[in-house]
């Protein structure tokens, strides 16, 4: 029973930790972008400007909680809520270390894919419920982008599943004791990385929000805390994708014994978060039709090829040994 209690406490720690990490990330990203673009970024409040997070939060909380009278009110409020809930639930299956996880289910990987897919509903419903032309166009684009990249986001992970023989994330981590999958599944990693960015519609793939043509895409009519929840969902998605890349391709919590697994897991995840922010700073946005043809014409064939190659190599190596 005490073990269950400890896990419950850990679940609450994950809950608060994920939200705080996403909040701090808003400041961290702006600081890092500032450094790379040769300017300061937010540096006024507190040491290095870290209290900017609190200031932003207070400001957003005291904004007019406005629901457009021309919108579909219930769906309008539901959409950002669904996004945050779906992204938060994704963290439930992430193995943070050998013993630290909320739940380790046999279908952990499928659960993660399902939760990220739910984000499509949030974006599309947010766009439709706003009853605004910009929001509708942004929501549609976003939905088309996310469903397109979802097809091979799942497929790109099948190489990992084939080699492990399990959907359980803990089993996938343990199978990487002999070697991380980032070498044997380099094509899978490549596709998952790109699909992950497109799925959480971060720059350079933030076409749905394309401010140069659709002002803010699907969240044009959102303001105050509901806008913040869309942003929270996006940053949670970024952290979640980094966690999954670490878990699936870079050995999760595995690392030298002299530090606990949680440390190695956090270090690798932090590295990928920084990598995604660097990507945002370094790469310009593609056109929408380029984005869609990249997905269907390049990444989908690569994914299928990866499955064929992985299957042939794994079976012949198994037969040889």
Partner 1 sequence: MTGSTTAELIPFIVYFGGVILLVLTMLGLSFVLGQRRTNKATNTPYESGVVAVGTSQIRLSVEFYLIAIIFVIFDLETVFIFAWAIAFFELGWQGYFAILVFIAMLGVALVYAWRCGTLEWGVKTRVGLEAKDN
Tell me which residues in 164-223 interact with partner 1 (CB under 8 A).
165-168, 170-171, 215, 220-221
9 or 35: whose CB is closer to partner 1? 9
Measured distance between the N- and C-terminal CA atoms of the chain, rounded to whole angstroms = 45
Nearest approach in angstroms of CB 319 to partner 1 is 8
- Our finding on whether 61 is near partner 1 (CB under 8 A) is yes
Question: Which position among 32, 92, 123, 193 is part of the footprint of partner 1 (CB under 8 A)?
Answer: 92
User: Do 279 and 256 touch, CB atoms closer than 8 A?
Assistant: no
Q: Which stretch binds partner 1 (CB under 8 A): 55-63, 198-206, 266-274, 278-286?
A: 55-63
CA distance 55 to 19: 16
63 or 267: whose CB is closer to partner 1? 63
- Our finding on whether 81 is near partner 1 (CB under 8 A) is yes
Tell me which residues in 220-259 interact with partner 1 (CB under 8 A).
220-221, 224-226, 228-229
Tell me which residues in 252-291 interact with partner 1 (CB under 8 A).
288-289
Question: Which position among 20, 35, 48, 133 is part of the footprint of partner 1 (CB under 8 A)?
Answer: 133
The secondary structure of the chain in percent helix, strand, coil, rounded to multiples of 5, reads 75, 0, 25
Rg (CA), the chain: 20
Q: Which has the closest alpha carbon to 66: 80, 75, 77?
A: 77
Q: Which stretch binds partner 1 (CB under 8 A): 34-42, 185-193, 263-271, 293-301?
A: 293-301
Query: How far lies 10's CA from each of 109, 171, 260, in Å?
Result: 21, 21, 16
Nearest approach in angstroms of CB 7 to partner 1 is 4
Tally of CA atoms within 13 A in the half-sphere of 49 that contains its CB: 15
Nearest approach in angstroms of CB 272 to partner 1 is 23
Nearest approach in angstroms of CB 106 to partner 1 is 7
Nearest approach in angstroms of CB 59 to partner 1 is 11
274 or 307: whose CB is closer to partner 1? 307
Query: How far lies 195's CA from each of 67, 87, 201, 307, in Å?
Result: 33, 16, 9, 16
Question: Which position among 177, 318, 320, 321 is part of the footprint of partner 1 (CB under 8 A)?
Answer: 318
User: Do 280 and 202 touch, CB atoms closer than 8 A?
Assistant: yes
- Our finding on whether 19 is near partner 1 (CB under 8 A) is yes
- In which region does residue 207 sit, left (phi positive, over 0), alpha (psi from -120 to 50) or beta (all else)? alpha
Nearest approach in angstroms of CB 252 to partner 1 is 14
User: Do 145 and 109 touch, CB atoms closer than 8 A?
Assistant: no
32 or 135: whose CB is closer to partner 1? 135
CA 259 remoteness from chain centre: 26
- Our finding on whether 312 is near partner 1 (CB under 8 A) is yes
- The two three-digit tokens of residue 238, written as one number: 């970024």
């Amino acid at each position: 029973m005490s073990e269950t209690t400890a896990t419950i406490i850990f679940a609450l720690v994950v809950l608060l930790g994920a939200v705080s990490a996403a909040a701090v990330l808003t400041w961290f990203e702006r600081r890092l972008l500032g450094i790379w673009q040769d300017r300061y970024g937010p540096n006024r409040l507190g040491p290095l400007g870290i209290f900017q997070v609190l200031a932003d939060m207070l400001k957003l909380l005291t904004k007019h909680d406005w629901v457009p009278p021309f919108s579909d009110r219930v769906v309008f409020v539901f959409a950002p809520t669904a996004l945050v809930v779906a992204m938060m639930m994704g963290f439930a299956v992430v193995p943070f270390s050998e013993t630290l996880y909320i739940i380790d289910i046999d279908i952990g990987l499928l659960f993660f894919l399902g939760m990220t897919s739910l984000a499509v509903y949030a974006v599309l419903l947010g766009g439709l419920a706003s009853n605004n032309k910009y929001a509708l166009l942004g929501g549609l684009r976003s939905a088309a982008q996310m469903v397109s990249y979802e097809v091979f986001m799942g497929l790109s992970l099948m190489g990992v599943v084939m080699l492990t023989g399990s959907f359980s994330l803990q089993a996938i981590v343990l199978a990487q004791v002999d070697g991380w999958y980032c070498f044997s599944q380099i094509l899978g990693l490549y596709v998952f990385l790109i699909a992950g960015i497109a799925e959480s519609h971060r720059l350079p793939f933030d076409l749905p929000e394309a401010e140069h043509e659709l002002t803010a895409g699907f969240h044009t009519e959102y303001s105050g805390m509901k806008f913040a929840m869309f942003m929270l969902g996006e940053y949670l998605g970024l952290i979640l994708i980094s966690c999954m890349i670490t878990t699936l391709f870079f050995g999760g919590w595995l690392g030298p014994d002299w530090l606990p697994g949680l440390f190695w897991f956090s270090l690798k995840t932090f590295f990928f978060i920084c990598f995604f922010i660097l990507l945002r700073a370094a790469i310009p946005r593609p056109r929408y039709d380029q984005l869609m043809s990249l997905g269907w014409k390049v990444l989908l064939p690569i994914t299928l090829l990866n499955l064929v190659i992985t299957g042939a190599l794994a079976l012949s190596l198994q037969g040889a040994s």
